[in-house]
Each structure stands twice: as structure tokens, then as C-alpha cells.
């Protein structure tokens, strides 16, 4: 198995990544730091603990909200959206 | 339902070594981990085809590869990766673990129930973060996050970074980032190196650690990065677009209070700030294992000298590695070995004499590593002075967006005294992380006792599961 | 600690604090003692139900109707101009549904009887039901809408009421465990003279036992007895979700489960959204003592029943689950009144799963009895003497 390029979309825009990378890593390397807006005051959040403990990097994956970007691997054709509040 | 003679949860140094030692003594071992690859957080790495990068990013990757391959190639060890345990129960006959896991590679996760009479818990730890104004701005993260992006995914967290906090972990994080071309515009250790003076003998008896430190210092020096001591990041600033543009650092006293007037602003696009580690005791709490508060204030699993947390004539639960107290990979490896061998003894796979013979050296090595771990906890202690970095509007609970002022109101107006009161009155710790990030800080903010800290670390639902998945009984 | 008081309330749950405030308002010098803190017992595990829909006509419904209004009066009293009392009081309304035609007929009959005693009920066709709850299962043949059903955040309510109680001169001693109720024969009657606690003694002629599930222990300290036992319930809490559920929605089976005295597990779906975005799912009932171990089988059953009502919940994540212990009396009715054998020992306990809802009226009733006023309803159904001697 060699490195494969994965193509998915982030908020409708093409996002490429390397197979095995997390959504959070793919977003950071594309320059996107904002994963979601918060429920109460609508402020921005990005990756924080990076290992699935803090639940701050939540995104909407294929329509399902509350997915931790830091521990979810990118897959071909995946639709990723920044999450607004409780989602989607 | 999957049964195994021994189940190990967590495939970091402790878990892998526990699995290997139990399997080498003829136990059938199932190693469950929520990651994609063995190694845990410490040896987080990219797929094999990127091994050259893996080697350059880790100080001791050869050791990881040796252990990883021994585990993967062992015919007595079955590895179940990407399995997220969401609930667990223990009774006097054994342990039942409920996990969401793909049945086969590429499948979507479904619930799988695991059962064993002998469990080894090696669930590790995650970075401890302290609140300060702006710590919720995208771009502020833990050193572990920066490290996992790099080691696990080959991605640098920023172009211009500040690394700060306390503890030896800041060094490998800073050096691997500079090696990957990141401009480290500030490296700040909160404590003075003079704190080592009292412990020079311990330092000199751990030359390996000292050399590892020199190795990082040499890399940093090569990139002209100098660590500054006695400073902390006390505020972060966002651009109009809401992302990090700068941090304020300040001189702090040994009790972590700020020296007013020493503040300095540093432009950066990412900041990795960490204050040691918090053991992940979620599973331990769900199983009702005995827990205590360690000298660093962390809730840990309480074990005996054989790493046993709970046992009777029919079952046992062992714990090893950071979950029994933060101590680093070397200590974790020893604890894992002891837990694995103790399981083999309880299963009757080795005799008491064989156990004693094969553990004699490990006991000595563990003692040595424990001594070093205790010194680290003393040198890199986190006193409560951080409480004067926060303002009433600073969030203390990131999930539920509860500010320090709201916690103050729960205390002053509603009479809250402990973590539970504050939680019920202000929703602090009630969000999706279930207090993993804020729990320890809330207890520190309120100054509560050990019993409160242990009670507040309980979270019987370990990971979110959809109600649809929950409603499907996998045993029916 | 005060050495004397007009009344000592044991228990700082919702019943204790409402009783304490009502007695203070009546001019008593009141001390509350609790072995823990505010809302540490069943109150802290409750959903904050203030329901008239789940009771058949009778004494308890009469109490519930008065209590529902009592909550809104209380909110104005303690809430500093905030109509929600600062504890999220809200007349969100209840929607009771049945999954079968038979069950629906039964439910409509109950609603008819309830409306005769003054409950606002409206039968719902399937389309009206969908209008109120757009995400409800289309399989459901109908239901009844109870606009008077309300909800509050019970821990906050208890804490705010406690705050007002103290501002009016009341005293609260947390971490204070009662060791003994002192009694003495006065004019031939065994009468209360004080309480002994691990923090000191208080002389008082009046003790109100408001210890809910633990009420039997207090009764025993005065050498009396009360047959109150724990009835465990689990609640599932979802992650914060978008607004999916708009009222308190429950299966009509719930009414039958509440009324049953069986020890074995019973459960029926009770689903509601909260202000914080989480969705709460109940309700199970079983008598297993004070065992709080998580029971995955019950969680599965609750999840499945909730999804039957709201299929959309299948995709919502469970965040937490916890249990609480309802104070259960053999006939399911609260115990409100003076002890049958000990003068000056009053009980305000045994509200089972309705303690939050029933507390203002229970407090009013017991204070009316204590002060010898005309009571707003006949309290005899709640008499502590009704169980006979259980020693």
C-alpha cells in the first residue's frame, strides 16, 4: 500500500488529503482553522486536544453532526461541513 | 459477544507490553484500542509507508517498531483497533465491555460486546489545559494536539508557533516542529530549571533521560530556539476573523501568579500550551475501580505492587501506565510487563516462583522509573496561581460555555461548595467532554477535597453512542 | 448553630426548601439541616416535572392542580421579576400519546374524567399531533394535549428558594446529619423537644421530616415508622441537539406504570427537550434498593421506546445516563401530616416521581395544618397514620 490522495469536500469546496489523515489534519493543512461555531455565543472553535478527549473540533460528516474531526479519518467522497451550534 | 482469556484496553507502551508479556506466558490476549494503529498517544505514527518520517519524528521509534511488530506477529494476541468502549461493567465473575467497532476492516462501527475474567487497563492520559482569557480561540491547542497532527498525520499546526506550559513534553514537541520548518517564536517553560537542583542525583542516575533532553536542546539550538523559563501564556488574541493572531506572555512567580508589568505580546498563528497530563480514568470509573488523587492532583487508579486494582478468586482488573499516575513511557512499559505477568500468574500459566524470578528486575526498574516520575511531578508542579489569570468572562467549561463568573455566582449566590453543586447550578462539566477538560480545573478553582475530585471524574457513558445503536441489543 | 428554633426541617431537597420558605413566610424561625447540601438527593436526579396529566382524579390530582399554580406563584416570589423564577420554569405543556387504538380510547376516557375536575385537556388527531410535534412517529393514532403541564430545573429551583429562605432569616446547616429526634412525654403525649446532630443539638417543638426516600430512617429516630422505599429510575441525556421535541411527550403506559406497585422493571417512554439543548429520556421504575449501577439493558429499552415515539432520535447521540431514587409509599400517595404517635413530628415525604411538581402545594398544606388554618383541601388521604404501625 502506498500513500493515496483522498478527495472530499469541505463546505462544498474540494479538500484533498492523504489516506490515513484525520479530518482535522486535512482541514489544518488546507488552512482552515475553524471547525465549528458554539451553541451559546456562536464563537469559533478549532482543534484543541487533538486526541478525541475534548470534543471541541466537532464537524458534520455526511450529514451527521458531532463528529470529532481529530479522530475521524478522511474518506473519498466524504462531505464535511463546519458545524453550527448543535448542528448540523 | 467476544470472549478472551485476557483483555488489554489501550495499545500504548503499557498496553502493548502488558499484552506481550501475558501472551509470552501462553495467555490468549485481546488488545483493544480506539486508534487506527498501535502505539497510543506516545508512539502515535503514520502508516508504514511513511516510516522514514515516523523515524525522524520520534526519538525512540525503533523501540516502538520492535514492540509493535512483536505484538502484531504474536499468534496469541488478537488486535482490535478502532474500538471505542462506551460502557463497561464489572461484577465478581468478570468484566463486560461494550464497544463500537467495525466488525471487519472498512465496515462502519457496530456494537460489539467483549467479556473477560482478566482485564488490563492501560487507557493512558491526555494533556492538561488550564483556562486563560482566549484559550478557546481556534489556533490555541494542547502540545498533544500539535504533536498528534504532526506524528499521526504529517501536518504542522501552524507556521509561527508559541509552545508553552510546563514539563519535559514541551521539548520534543518544539523540536519536532522546528525540524518540520515551523518558526517557533517562543518556547516558555513556567518553572525555573533551578528546581532540578534538589534532584541532581536522580537526574544523574537517569542519564538516558538527560541525553534525550540534550538531544532536543541540540535540535532547538541548531534552529536558534531558546527556552525561556518562568513565563506563561496568560492571554490569547483573535483576529477579526476569529482566529489566533497573538498571545500575551508574562513572567510568573513559582506559585504561578503573574508579575504585573512583565506582559509581552507575541504574534503567532498557533500556540501549543500544556500543563502536564490527566489520566483517562473514564473506564476505570465505570468499572468501579478504587481511585485516589495523586500528588499532582490527578485522579488515578489505585493499584497494588502487582498492578492489581481489583481481584477475587475468579476475576481481576489490572491497571498499568499513565492511568495509575503519570510517569512516562519507561515506567509505563515496566508497569505493563508486571500487569501482563500477574495475569499469567492468576491464570496459572506461570508459577509464583516463575513470576518472582521474571519480575525481580522489572520491580527494580519500575522503582527507579517511579522515583524519576515523582521528581518530575515535583519539578513541574502546577500550583493554583493560574486562578489569577482568569477574568469573570473567561470560560472554564468550554463545552457548555460556562464562565468563571458563572461559577463564582453559583458559589456566592446559590451556596455551591463542591463540583457537583456547581455542575447542577451552572452546567459546568455537563457538556460533551463530560468534564474531561474542566473537571480538574473546577476542583482546583473551588479548592475541593479528594473525594470530590474522584466523584466528579465519574462518567459511566464513556463515549457517545447514538440512541439507534443503543437500542439494538448486539446479543439478541 | 442556633440552639433553638421554632421548626427544624430535615432535608434540603425541593420539599424541604419549599416547606421551610412557607413556614418562614408564616412567621416561624426555621432551621434546615441536611447531611449533604441543597438538592443532593432525589431532587438532584429529577427532570423537574410539574404535571397534572399523569394523575387520575382524586386527592393527588387536587394537590397537583394547586401545586402547578403554586409553582408560578413561587417563581414570582423568588425570581426577582423573572417569570421563570430564575430556574427555567416553563409551561411547556404535555403531550400524552398512545401507540394503539385501544390505548388511545383508554387515554381519551382518562382525559374526559380529568377535564371534569378542571384539567385543561384537548384530544389530538394524528394531524394535530404532528402540528405540535413535527418529528413524532406517523404510526401514532392520536393523543391528548395538556397545556398546563410545566417544567422547571429542580436543582436551580431548590437553590434559589434556599437563597430566598435565608434572606428572610432562615438558617441552613449543610453537612449536618441528624442523629436523633428528641422526644418527651408532655401531658401524656410523646412530643418532640429537639434534634441531635453531629454538629450540635437544636431545641425545637417542631420537626418536619422532608428526607424523601430516606424518610423511614428519620421516623425511626423518633421511634416511629414510615414505609418509604426507593424506586429507581434511569434518565438518558442526549448530546445537545437542534430543537426536535417541543413539549413533554410521553406514552400513556406511563400512567399505568406510575400506578403500579410491582417491584420488577417497568418502563415507558417520556421524552422532552430542555433549554440547554439536551433531550431527556425516561422513565424506568424498579425496586432494587439503593443500587445505582448502570444497567445497559434498561438503557437499551428506554432508547428503543423513545425511538418508537420519535424515530429521528435514532441518530441522536447519548451523552450521559444516571439514576435516581424516588421515595415510594405502598399506595403511591405522598405522606403529609403529623406523625401518628409522635406529636410535633411532621412528615412531608413520599412524593415518588412527582416531588418537584407537588412540593409547593405540599408545603402549603402542611403549613396550614401546622398553624391550624383551614386547609385548601382535605388532607386525610395523605395522613401518615394510614399505614398503621410497621415496627
C195 and C320 inside one domain: no
Report which secondary-structure segment, H or E, holds A7.
strand A5-10
Residues of chain B with CATH 3.50.50.60: 2-126+278-350, 129-275
Q: Does B49 contact A at CB distance below 8 Å?
A: yes
Search chain B and give the residue with CA nearest A3.
Answer: B49
B432/C contact by beta carbon, under 8 A: yes
Cβ–Cβ gap A39/C315 under 8 Å: no
A62 close contact with C: CB closer than 8 A = no
Candidates 3.30.499.10, 3.20.20.10, 3.30.479.30, 3.50.50.60; correct CATH number of B2-126+278-350? 3.50.50.60
B398 touches chain C (CB under 8 A): no
Q: Which of C33, C373, C17, C339 lies closest to C183, judged by CA?
A: C339
Grid cell 417544567 is found at: C151
CATH number of domain containing C100: 3.30.9.10
Chain B CB contacts of C163 under 8 Å are 413-415
* B336, three cell numbers: 505493563
Which one is the CATH code of B129-275: 1.10.150.530, 3.40.50.11900, 3.40.250.10, 3.50.50.60?
A: 3.50.50.60
What whole-number distance in Å separates Cα of residue C155 and Cα of residue B414?
Answer: 10
C67 inside domain: no
Yes or no, beta carbons of B470 and C299 under 8 Å apart: yes
Claim to verify: residue C249 and residue C213 sit in the same structural domain: no
CA distance B434 to chain C (A): 8
- A4 Cβ under 8 Å from any chain B Cβ: no
Q: Which residue of B has its CA nearest to A65?
A: B466
ipTM reported for the complex surpasses 0.90: yes
Q: Are residues C318 and C250 in the same domain?
A: yes
C329, C352 in Cβ contact below 8 A?
Answer: yes
> For position C2, what pLDDT does the model report?
66
Residues of B with Cβ-Cβ distance to C34 under 8 angstroms? none
- Chain C within 8 Å of B470 (Cβ-Cβ)? yes
DSSP state of B350: S
A52 touches chain C (CB under 8 A): no
Tens of pLDDT along chain B (476 residues) come to: 999 999 999 999 999 999 999 999 999 999 999 998 999 999 999 888 888 889 888 888 999 999 999 999 999 999 999 999 999 999 999 999 999 988 776 677 889 999 999 999 999 999 999 999 999 999 999 999 999 999 999 999 999 999 999 999 999 999 999 999 999 999 999 999 999 999 999 999 999 999 999 999 999 999 999 999 999 999 999 999 999 999 999 999 999 999 999 999 999 999 999 999 999 999 999 999 999 999 999 999 999 999 999 999 999 999 999 999 999 999 999 999 999 999 999 999 999 999 999 999 999 999 999 999 999 999 999 999 999 999 999 999 999 999 999 999 999 999 999 999 999 999 999 999 999 999 999 999 999 999 999 999 999 999 999 999 999 988 77
Terminus-to-terminus CA distance in chain B, angstroms? 10
Yes or no, beta carbons of C174 and B434 under 8 Å apart: no
Whether residue C236 is found in the same domain as residue C324 = yes
**How close does chain A come to B431, measured CA to CA in Å?**
9
Shared domain for C271 and C367, answered yes or no, is no
Q: What is the pLDDT of residues C228-265, one digit of tens each?
A: 999 999 999 999 999 999 999 999 987 777 777 777 88
Q: Do C275 and C88 touch, CB atoms closer than 8 A?
A: yes
pLDDT at position C108 over 90: yes
A85 touches chain B (CB under 8 A): no
Distance of alpha carbon C19 from the chain centroid: 13
Model confidence pLDDT, tens digit, residues C164-197 = 999 999 999 999 999 999 999 988 889 999 999 9
Residue C84, min C-alpha distance to chain B (Å): 15
Among B424, B430, B435, most C C-beta atoms within 10 A, so best to mutate, is B424
Residues C171 and C237 in one domain: no
pLDDT digits (tens, 9 = 90+) for B114-167: 999 999 999 999 999 999 999 999 999 999 999 999 999 999 999 999 999 999
> What was the pLDDT predicted at A88?
80
pTM for this prediction: 0.94
Query: In angstroms, what CA-CA distances link C126 with C140, C223, C309?
Result: 7, 55, 13
Choose, out of A18, A35, A46, the residue to mutate when testing the contact with B (most B CBs < 10 Å): A46
Residues B147, B236: Cα–Cα separation, whole Å: 20
Nearest Cα residue in chain C from B418: C37
C-alpha cell at B443: 476542583
Domain that includes residue C266, residue range: 94-147+229-328
User: Which residues 6+ apart lie within 8 Å of C99 measured at CB?
Assistant: C139, C140, C141, C251, C308
User: Which of C328, C349, C373 represents a domain boundary (last residue)?
Assistant: C328
Whether the Cβ atoms of residue C184 and residue C193 lie closer than 8 Å to each other: yes
Integer Cα distance of C313 and C29 in angstroms:
50
B431 at interface of A, judged by CB pairs closer than 8 A: yes
Q: Is residue C61 part of a domain?
A: no
C234 and C357 inside one domain: no
Are C372 and C234 contained in the same domain?
no
Domain tally, chain A: 1
Provide the number of structural domains found in chain C.
Answer: 2
| Domain coverage including residue A33 | 5-84
The answer to whether C215 touches C335, Cβ cutoff 8 Å, is yes
Asked if residue C105 and residue C203 are part of one domain, the reply reads no
Contact (CB, 8 A) for B316 and B339: no
In whole angstroms, give the CA distance from residue A17 to residue C162: 57
Choose among B328, B342, B323: nearest CA to B283: B323
Location of C-alpha cell 489505585 = B302
Q: Do A28 and B34 touch (CB under 8 A)?
A: no
Q: Check CB contact under 8 Å for B34 and A71.
A: yes
Task: Name chain C's partners: 3 or more CB pairs within 8 A.
Answer: A, B
Q: Does domain B390-456 have CATH number 3.30.160?
A: no
Which residue intervals of chain B bear CATH 1.10.10?
390-456
Q: Is C178 helix (H, G, I), strand (E, B) or coil?
A: strand
* Closest by Cβ to A22, choosing from B142, B153, B243: B153
Length of chain B: 476
Q: Which among C293, C300, C318 has the least Cβ separation from residue B464?
A: C318
**Would the CB atoms of C277 and A86 count as touching at under 8 Å?**
yes
Start-end of H helices in chain C:
14-25, 59-78, 101-116, 126-132, 154-167, 215-221, 253-259, 296-309, 355-370
CATH number of the domain residue A18 falls in: 3.10.20.440
Q: What's the pLDDT band for A1 if we cut at 50, 70, 90?
A: very low
Q: Do C40 and B461 touch (CB under 8 A)?
A: no
* Domain identity same for C278 and C341: no
Amino acid at each position: 500500500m502506498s500513500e493515496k490522495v483522498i478527495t472530499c469536500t469541505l463546505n462544498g469546496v474540494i479538500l484533498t488529503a492523504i489516506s490515513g489523515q484525520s479530518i482535522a489534519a486535512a482541514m489544518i493543512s488546507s488552512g482552515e482553522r475553524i471547525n465549528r461555531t458554539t451553541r451559546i455565543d456562536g464563537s469559533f472553535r478549532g482543534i484543541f486536544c487533538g486526541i478525541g478527549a475534548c470534543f471541541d473540533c466537532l464537524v458534520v460528516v455526511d450529514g451527521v453532526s458531532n463528529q470529532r474531526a481529530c479522530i475521524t479519518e478522511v474518506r473519498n467522497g466524504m462531505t464535511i461541513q463546519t458545524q453550527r451550534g448543535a448542528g448540523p | 459477544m467476544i470472549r478472551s482469556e485476557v483483555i488489554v484496553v489501550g495499545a500504548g507502551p503499557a498496553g502493548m507490553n502488558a499484552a506481550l508479556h501475558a501472551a509470552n506466558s501462553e495467555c490468549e490476549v485481546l488488545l483493544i484500542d480506539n486508534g487506527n494503529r498501535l502505539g497510543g498517544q506516545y508512539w502515535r505514527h503514520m502508516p508504514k509507508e511513511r516510516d522514514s518520517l515516523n523515524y525522524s519524528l520520534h526519538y525512540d521509534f525503533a523501540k516502538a517498531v520492535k514492540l509493535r511488530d512483536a505484538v502484531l506477529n504474536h499468534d496469541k494476541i488478537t488486535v482490535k483497533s478502532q474500538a471505542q468502549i462506551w460502557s463497561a461493567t464489572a461484577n465478581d465473575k468478570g468484566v463486560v465491555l461494550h464497544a463500537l467497532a467495525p466488525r471487519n476492516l472498512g465496515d462502519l462501527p457496530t456494537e460489539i460486546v467483549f467479556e473477560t475474567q482478566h482485564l488490563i487497563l492501560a487507557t493512558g492520559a491526555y494533556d492538561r489545559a488550564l483556562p486563560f482569557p482566549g484559550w478557546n480561540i481556534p489556533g490555541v491547542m494542547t502540545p498533544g494536539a500539535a504533536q498528534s497532527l504532526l506524528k499521526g498525520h504529517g501536518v504542522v499546526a501552524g507556521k509561527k508557533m508559541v509552545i508553552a506550559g510546563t514539563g519535559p513534553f514541551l521539548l520534543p514537541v518544539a523540536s519536532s516542529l522546528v525540524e518540520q520548518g515551523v518558526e517557533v517564536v517562543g518556547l516558555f517553560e513556567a518553572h525555573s530549571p533551578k528546581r532540578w537542583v534538589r534532584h541532581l542525583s536522580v537526574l544523574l542516575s537517569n542519564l538516558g533521560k538527560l541525553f534525550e533532553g540534550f538531544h532536543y536542546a541540540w535540535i532547538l539550538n541548531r534552529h536558534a530556539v531558546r527556552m525561556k523559563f518562568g513565563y506563561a501564556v496568560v492571554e490569547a488574541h483573535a483576529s477579526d476573523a476569529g482566529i489566533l493572531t497573538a498571545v500575551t506572555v508574562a513572567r510568573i512567580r513559582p506559585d504561578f501568579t503573574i508579575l504585573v508589568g512583565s506582559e509581552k505580546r507575541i504574534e503567532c498563528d498557533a500556540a501549543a500550551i500544556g500543563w502536564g497530563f490527566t489520566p483517562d480514568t473514564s473506564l476505570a470509573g465505570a468499572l468501579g475501580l478504587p481511585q485516589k488523587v495523586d500528588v499532582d492532583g490527578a485522579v488515578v487508579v489505585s493499584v497494588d505492587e502487582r498492578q492489581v486494582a481489583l481481584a477475587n478468586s475468579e476475576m481481576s482488573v489490572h491497571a498499568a501506565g499513565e492511568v495509575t499516575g503519570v510517569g512516562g513511557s519507561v515506567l509505563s512499559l515496566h508497569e505493563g510487563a508486571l500487569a501482563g505477568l500477574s495475569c499469567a500468574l492468576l491464570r496459572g500459566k506461570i508459577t509464583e516462583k516463575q513470576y518472582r524470578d521474571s519480575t525481580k528486575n522489572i520491580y527494580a526498574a519500575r522503582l527507579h522509573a517511579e522515583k524519576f516520575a515523582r521528581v518530575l511531578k515535583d519539578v513541574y508542579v502546577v500550583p493554583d496561581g493560574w486562578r489569577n489569570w482568569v477574568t469573570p468572562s473567561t470560560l472554564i467549561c468550554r463545552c457548555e460555555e460556562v464562565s468563571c463568573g458563572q461559577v463564582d455566582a453559583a458559589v456566592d449566590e446559590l451556596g455551591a461548595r463542591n463540583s457537583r453543586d456547581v455542575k447542577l447550578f451552572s452546567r459546568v462539566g455537563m457538556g460533551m467532554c463530560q468534564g474531561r477538560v474542566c473537571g480538574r480545573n473546577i476542583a482546583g478553582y473551588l479548592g475541593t477535597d479528594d473525594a470530590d475530585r474522584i466523584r466528579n471524574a465519574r462518567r459511566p457513558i464513556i463515549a457517545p453512542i447514538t440512541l439507534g445503536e443503543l437500542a439494538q441489543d448486539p446479543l439478541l | 448553630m442556633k440552639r433553638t428554633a421554632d421548626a427544624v426541617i430535615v432535608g434540603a431537597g425541593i420539599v424541604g426548601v419549599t416547606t421551610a420558605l412557607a413556614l418562614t413566610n408564616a412567621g416561624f424561625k426555621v432551621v434546615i439541616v441536611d447531611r449533604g447540601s441543597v438538592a443532593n438527593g432525589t431532587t438532584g436526579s429529577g427532570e423537574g416535572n410539574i404535571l397534572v396529566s399523569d394523575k387520575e382524579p382524586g386527592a393527588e390530582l387536587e394537590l397537583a392542580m394547586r401545586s402547578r399554580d403554586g409553582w408560578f406563584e413561587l417563581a414570582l416570589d423568588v425570581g426577582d421579576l423573572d417569570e421563570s423564577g430564575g430556574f427555567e420554569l416553563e409551561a411547556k405543556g404535555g403531550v400524552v400519546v398512545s401507540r394503539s387504538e385501544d390505548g388511545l380510547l383508554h387515554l381519551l376516557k382518562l382525559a374526559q374524567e380529568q377535564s371534569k375536575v378542571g384539567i385543561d385537556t384537548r384530544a389530538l388527531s394524528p394531524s394535530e399531533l404532528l402540528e405540535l410535534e413535527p418529528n413524532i412517529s406517523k404510526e401514532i393514532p392520536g393523543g391528548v394535549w395538556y397545556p398546563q403541564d410545566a417544567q422547571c430545573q429542580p436543582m436551580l429551583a431548590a437553590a434559589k428558594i434556599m437563597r430566598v429562605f435565608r434572606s428572610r432569616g432562615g438558617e441552613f446547616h449543610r453537612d449536618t446529619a441528624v442523629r436523633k429526634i428528641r422526644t418527651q412525654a408532655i401531658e401524656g403525649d410523646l412530643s418532640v423537644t429537639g434534634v441531635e446532630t453531629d454538629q450540635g443539638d437544636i431545641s425545637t417543638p417542631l420537626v418536619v421530616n422532608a428526607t424523601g426516600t430516606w424518610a423511614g430512617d428519620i421516623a425511626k429516630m423518633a421511634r416511629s415508622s414510615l414505609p418509604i422505599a426507593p424506586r429507581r429510575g434511569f434518565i438518558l441525556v442526549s448530546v445537545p441537539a437542534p430543537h426536535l421535541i417541543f413539549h413533554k411527550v410521553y406514552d400513556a403506559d406511563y400512567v399505568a406504570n406510575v400506578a403500579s406497585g410491582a417491584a420488577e422493571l417497568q418502563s415507558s417512554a417520556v421524552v422532552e427537550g430542555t433549554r440547554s439543548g439536551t433531550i431527556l429520556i425516561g422513565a424506568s421504575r424498579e425496586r432494587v434498593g439503593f443500587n445505582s449501577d448502570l444497567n445497559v439493558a434498561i438503557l437499551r429499552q428506554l432508547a428503543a421506546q423513545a425511538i418508537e415515539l420519535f424515530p429521528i432520535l435514532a441518530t441522536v447521540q447519548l451523552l450521559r445516563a444516571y439514576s435516581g431514587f424516588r421515595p415510594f409509599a405502598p399506595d403511591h400517595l405522598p405522606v403529609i401530616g403529623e406523625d401518628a404517635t409522635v406529636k410535633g413530628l411532621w412528615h412531608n415525604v413520599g412524593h415518588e416521581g412527582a416531588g418537584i411538581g407537588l412540593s409547593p402545594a405540599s408545603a402549603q398544606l402542611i403549613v396550614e395544618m401546622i398553624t391550624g388554618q383551614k386547609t385548601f383541601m382535605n388532607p386525610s388521604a395523605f395522613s401518615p397514620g394510614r399505614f398503621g404501625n410497621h415496627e
